[in-house]
Structure 1
Amino acid sequence: MADWNAGQYLKFEDERTRPSIDLLRRVPLEETTNCVDIGCGPGNSTELIARRYPTARVLGLDNSPDMLAKARARLPDRDFEETDIANWQTEERFDLIFANAVLQWLPDHPGLLARLVSFLKDGGCLAVQMPDNLYEPSHRLMVQVAREGPWAEKLSFAAQARETIGSFEDYYAWLQQAGCSVDIWQTIYVHPLDGAEAIVEWFKSTGLKPYLDRLSTEERSEYLSRYQAAIAEAYPVQQDGKVLLRFPRLFFIAQRK
């Protein structure tokens, strides 16, 4: 895919940071010396980790130059590296591996989780949050508009850019097999947004990206127009003029025994 757009992503920074706050709050570690934020994006989650563990080394990893530029400007005293997490290997061992809204882009979760756990110190934690919204109207309509337009063949594989999230039982079993105790839960956030256009703007930097990256400028405009019209039907306007974006997210913290 083309590079991520940090500016587009940060249009909803407060809403996007809430899951990181909730995830970090459940991490049971009182102190750490070595933390890594994988898929750190523009550094909003990295900043939270650095605040909680001010004396620890906190490293941010991402594969997006634009995101990393924003992260470095935000936290000039922290280390950031451009890395493909799908192939990341390290000799370091971490107290905390933090992965907010990144693992859904990577395949083979059983193997991926076992590899990440192997980078933890004994007693260290892998803290993960993933959007679990592929069956929400926002994402079902992405697929529907892709299939019904003149770009159907071009977009036939776009929906496969994201990994399908497994069940609670899947992640519990995979993480136990990797030698961890597991705390797992789901939260459904409800975000009041300023109309259908705001929902489209939200997903331009995330869920819509695999579709938009494959289209020409003219096709992109037409696709977004059709998608926004479908979104307007699926998300009714409330009395105050807002629309409510329902957003389920899966969380777990795996602590290596």
Structure 2
Amino acid sequence: MTQPTWDPAQYLRHAGHRARPYADLLARIPDPGRGRPRIADLGCGPGNVTVLLADRWPTARITGYDNSPEMLDKAHVEHEGPTPGGGRLDFAHADLRSWTPGEPYDLIVSNATLQWVPGHADRFGDWVDALEPGGSLAFQIPDNIDAPLHALMRELAAGPRWHTRLADVVRRTDSVHAPGVYLDRLTRLGCTADVWQTTYHHVLTGVDPVLDWVKGTGLRPVLTALADDPEARDAFLTEYRDLLRTAYPSAPYGTVLPFRRLFAVAVRGE
């Protein structure tokens, strides 16, 4: 799959909807029990939700990790530095396919990122090993690869017009595991694990809002692959837009985007 180029401004166009699952995840994480917890946020993006960690744990030393220079630039400028509660927020580059903690953490958390990391469940062992006793590994990932916005993208990319350029670009259907897989993996690592799913029904407004939403996330590999051919990019977007209009019809109050997400909170044994 193409390593996507990220656009922080596009991603943040739906920041409120995207932040809600992160807030819901944080509400289920137990307090680390230390005065100044050490926290890693994996796949921090532009840092707009990483700051929620400082709201929950004001004295924490927090590092947000990401592999997108564009996202990290925005995070450095807008969010890095001391936090009001006496903690500290920093950002650093990391590739989660190989990132191994260099120090103990009280919390390792990830929001809507692991679906982009092939073999991410195989990384859990290193991450759990780095947790302090009673520390948590917690994550939230989109669990809707079978939803129309992804299925239609895959079908279009595999069609006769696009398959030579895009068939291997879009996210695969096995990029997220079933909830039971995560429960089993985390429990076998000596954790007490809580795994659940939630379907949000986002009411989006504006012109072609579902297309606008997916431009900030799932469509990034396609946009990256076609970046050097604006005519082809616009043609793909037009075809995809028309399919989305049928799959997600508008109503007088907006367009409803059902979006299922998977959550996990794993607490390491004392």
TM-score (norm. length: structure 2): 0.90
- Specify every segment of 5 or more residues in structure 2 that has no aligned partner in the other structure, as ranges: 82-88
1:223 counterpart residue number: 236
Task: Give the aligned partner of residue 19 of structure 2.
Answer: 17
Matches within 5 A, 1:191-210: 191-194=202-205, 197-210=208-221
Q: What is the CA-CA distance between 1:106 and the residue it aligns to? A: 0.9
Higher relative helix content: 1
The answer to whether the Cα contact below 8 Å between 1:31 and 1:53 also exists between their aligned partners in 2 is: no
Q: Which residue identity lines up with residue 233 of structure 2 in the other structure?
A: R
Q: Contact 1:155/1:211 (CA < 8 Å) preserved in 2?
A: yes
| Residue 259 of structure 2 is aligned to residue 247 of structure 1 | yes
Which of 90-99 and 188-197 deviates more? 188-197
1:232 has 2:234 as partner: no
**CA separation in 1, counterparts of 2:174 and 2:65?**
20
Cα distance in 2 for partners of 1:115, 1:95 equals 14
Cα distance, 1:201 vs. partner?
1.1
- 1:195 offset after TM fit, Å? 5.5
| Among candidates 122, 132, 148, match of residue 143 of structure 2 | 132
Structure 1 spans left out of the alignment, 5+ residues: none
Question: Aligned partners of 1:196 and 1:165: how far apart in 2?
Answer: 30
After the TM superposition, which of the residue ranges 93-102 and 22-31 deviates more from structure 2? 22-31
SS at match of 2:14: helix
SS in structure 1 opposite 2:208? helix
In the alignment, structure 1 residue 69 sits paired with structure 2 residue 73: yes
Q: Aligned pairs, how many? A: 256
Q: Distance in 1 between matches of 2:24 and 2:256?
A: 20
8 Å CA contact 1:37–1:45 kept in 2: the answer is no
Q: Do the aligned residues in 1 keep the contact of 2:41 with 2:63 (CA within 8 Å)? A: yes
Q: For residue 164 of structure 1, report the CA deviation from its aligned partner.
A: 2.4
Q: Are residues 38 and 178 of structure 1, via their aligned partners in 2, closer, same or farther at CA, if it must alter by over 3 Å?
A: same
> Residue 27 of structure 1 aligns to a residue in which SS?
coil
Tell me the equivalent position of 2:55.
Answer: 51
Letter in 1 for 2:30: P
Counterpart position of 1:38: 42
RMSD: 1.6
Is 2:5–2:224's contact at 8 Å kept on the other side of the alignment? Answer: no
2:113 equivalent in structure 1? 102
SS at match of 1:44: coil
Residue 223 of structure 1: CA displacement? Answer: 0.4
The amino acid that maps onto 1:56 is: A
- CA deviation after TM superposition for structure 1 residue 96, in Å: 0.5
Deviations 1:92-135 (A, max 9, x none): 11000010011111122331222221221111001100001110
**What secondary structure, in the 3-state scheme, does the structure 1 residue paired with 2:260 have?**
strand
2:155 is matched with 144
